[in-house]
Structure 1
Amino acid sequence: MNSRRVVVTGMGIWSCLGTDKEQVTEALRSGRSGIGMEKERLEYGYQSGLTGVVERPRLKGLLHRRYRVGLPEEAEYAYMASLEAFGQAHIDEDYLRTHEVGIIFGNDSSARPVIEAANIMAEKHDTQLLGSGYIFQAMNSTVNMNLSSIFGLRGVNFSVSAACASGSHSIGLGCMMIRQGLQDCVLCGGAQEVNFYSMATFDALGAFSKRMEEPQKASRPFDRDRDGLVPSGGAAALVLEDYEHAVKRGATILAEVCGYGFSSNGGGISQPSDDGSVTAMTRALQDAGIAADDVDYVNAHATGTHQGDMFEAIALDRMFRGRHALISSTKGMTGHECWMAGASEAVYSILMMQHHFVAPNINFEHADEYSAPLNLATRTIETDVDIVLSNSFGFGGTNSALVLKRTNDDALV
């Protein structure tokens, strides 16, 4: 066990469920889906036009043009989520100017600016027509690069590029930095672009649901009749702090990050593994110093693909059969938020802690042989949630698991 405690003092969210924590909490509690259809995807050549419907921020008048020009779509979402997180943490410009704050963000693509720049070059054959913004928009490090400049952050500064576990790993790595005494405060999160350029190669795998006649019923984690995931996106941000540092400055503590586990499957590039999942979850619980019996809720990775959900269900059954933990995948409502998912699902889980409920695994109508043994919350359940395990798995066999804990210490108010 590490001596330094890591706590969350601010959160921000920009997703298909809403553009602030209040909207998102209401959507989670009511089981409201944020999924819709985008006909442009079918016109572009997609097999599926389903997507999470994410509102685009209006930054003109909020952010100077010299900053806006370098922001791709996902960094716009991340900026809005970070504003909300810093606001809740009561971290303002004066604080950032006089303290070292780091940033670690999960992001694994920035497709639109790459494609737009390539199209200009193919037509005009002149690099001078590209302008100065595309290079900063096109890099995978675009989020932390832009936000560190906008907010004047002077601490650790890098991106985590780990497929659909990126956002979760960013929180785990931020936690490790603080535990080791290298940072007192780190802005962590994940961001995912939603434009149709970004997901064409994913659609090519045939991994997306084609249940287009009923968009809000298309994402069906663990359901027997699931036919694929629904792509989605946005951004989530969390302010992580050393406990003593947070208490000293009078911050409100939202939760504690007390466990981080990871593993790699070491198999096929798109092949899930129950062993790899169990290893990551076990390490997270050991890191937190708790047992499976202590977990109240598991926010499952389950995206609605046949193999992915099957292997995670096997892993969850191995870990939690006979235990009281409720299980649900919020991706039934959000779709798969990909690079941001690990961060957004940490936010969703903490919101459930704060408001004493477990969000439902919507669209679950029929169990298969693997999901049947699981203690799935198929409706909203009003209950205290003190300890959460949140799973995130990605291509290349990368696995991440986080343990989040409600803080009941009188000093944490």
Structure 2
Amino acid sequence: ELSAPDAAIFDTLGATSCMNKTPELTPKCWDKNRDGLVIVEGSGTLILEDMEHAVKRGAKIYAEVAGFATNADGTHITSPNADTQAQALEMAIADAGCSKDDIKYINAHGTATSHGDISESQAVYKVFNKAIPISSTKSYIGHILGACGCVESWLTINMMNEGWFHPNVNLVDVDPECAPLDYITGDGRKIDAEYVMSNNFAFGGVNTSLIFKKWHD
């Protein structure tokens, strides 16, 4: 639930977008003219269940959590560390037991902050060393703060199952300081993906990466 104090904190940090007269044009994730995040309220729920138990009782399985990793560097409250972020991604891939090439799409944290987008893109490129398809759900719905990981994971799973991945809304001119990734634009992208990644990076240097695998009955 969004409150005035929540909004005031991010305003004080200078992290929020000031495009109040044209809210439909913000946030502008990865864009060189981005001016900050948009905080919103929302929630989501994911039910995790042991695979053997779910299969035995005939549950509808949407995806498998193939890999997970989290770490923290604690070096700065608001300035992210690309090296530590990259480590989280590497650990998640190792936990999943898949190769980097198996991952066909990344749902980014992508907040449209000046430092955050650059750091995240550099971390992703450091790990994958190629222009992997990537987009930020926050360009559509804003930043749900503590619930963003859950909602974005749900959407990432759904897109994997549908075979279509949403574009980055409001991305017009990619910031040249962002790494050369495949920033999805236009009408989105049809991708046949067996593995997808969803990342979230919080203030204080807390980094989390999830890898989902498509479920086949």
* TM-score, normalised relative to structure 1: 0.51
Gaps of 5+ in 1: 1-192
Q: Deviations over 1:221-280 (max 9, x none)?
A: 111110000001210101111111001111011100010011112301222010111011
Does residue 320 (structure 1) correspond to residue 123 (structure 2)? The answer is: no
Please identify which structure carries the higher helix content.
1
1: CA distance between counterparts of 2:130 and 2:146? 32
CA contact (8 A) 2:104 2:191 kept: no
Match of 1:248 in 2: 56
1:207 pairs, out of 7, 15, 32, with: 15
In the alignment, structure 1 residue 355 sits paired with structure 2 residue 159: no
1:218 paired with 2:26, answer: yes
Q: Distance in 2 between matches of 1:322 and 1:252?
A: 35
Corresponding residue for residue 233 of structure 1? 41
- Matches of 2:198 and 2:179, distance apart in 1: 20
Deviations 1:333-382 (A, max 9, x none): 01111100111110010110121101111111111223351111113112
Q: Please, what is the CA RMSD of the aligned residues? A: 1.3
Alignment of 1:69-218 (within 5 A): 193-218=1-26
Distance in 2 between the 1:383 and 1:260 partners?
Answer: 22
Report SS of the residue matched to 2:95: helix
Runs of 4+ deviating beyond 4 Å: none
The separation in 1 between residues aligned to 2:76 and 2:191, in whole angstroms, is 39
Partner of 1:11: none
Partner of 2:177: 370
Q: Is the contact between residue 263 and residue 399 of structure 1 (CA under 8 Å) also seen in structure 2?
A: yes
Determine the structure 2 residue equivalent to 1:297: 105
Verify the 8 A CA contact 1:265 1:275 in the aligned structure 2. no
Percent of aligned pairs with the same amino acid: 40
Q: Is the 8 A contact 2:69 2:92 kept in 1?
A: yes
2:146 alignment partner in structure 1: 339
2:84 paired with 1:276: yes
Deviates more, 1:237-246 or 1:383-392: 383-392
Determine the C-alpha separation between the residues in 1 that align with 2:121 and 2:133: 13
The structure whose Rg is larger is: 1
Contact 2:122 2:179 in 1 (8 A): no
Task: For 2:147 and 2:12, locate their aligned partners in 1 and report how far apart those are by CA, in whole Å.
Answer: 21
Q: Taking CA–CA contacts closer than 8 Å with sequence separation of 6 or more, which of the two structures ends up with the larger relative contact order?
A: 2
TM-score, structure 2 length as denominator?
Answer: 0.95
In the TM superposition, residue 197 of structure 1 has moved relative to its aligned partner by: 3.5
Aligned to 1:381: 189
Render the CA deviation track for 1:11-67: whole Å, top value 9, x for unaligned.
xxxxxxxxxxxxxxxxxxxxxxxxxxxxxxxxxxxxxxxxxxxxxxxxxxxxxxxxx
Q: Give the AA of the match of 2:25.
A: K
2:202 alignment partner in structure 1 = 394
Q: Does structure 1 residue 264 correspond to structure 2 residue 55? A: no
Contact (CA 8 Å) 2:125, 2:179: kept in 1 or not? Answer: no
Q: Which runs of 5+ in 2 are unaligned?
A: none
- Rounded to whole Å, the distance in 1 between the matches of 2:41 and 2:155 is 14
CA offsets, 1:113-156, max 9 Å, x none?
xxxxxxxxxxxxxxxxxxxxxxxxxxxxxxxxxxxxxxxxxxxx
- Work out the number of aligned pairs and report it: 216
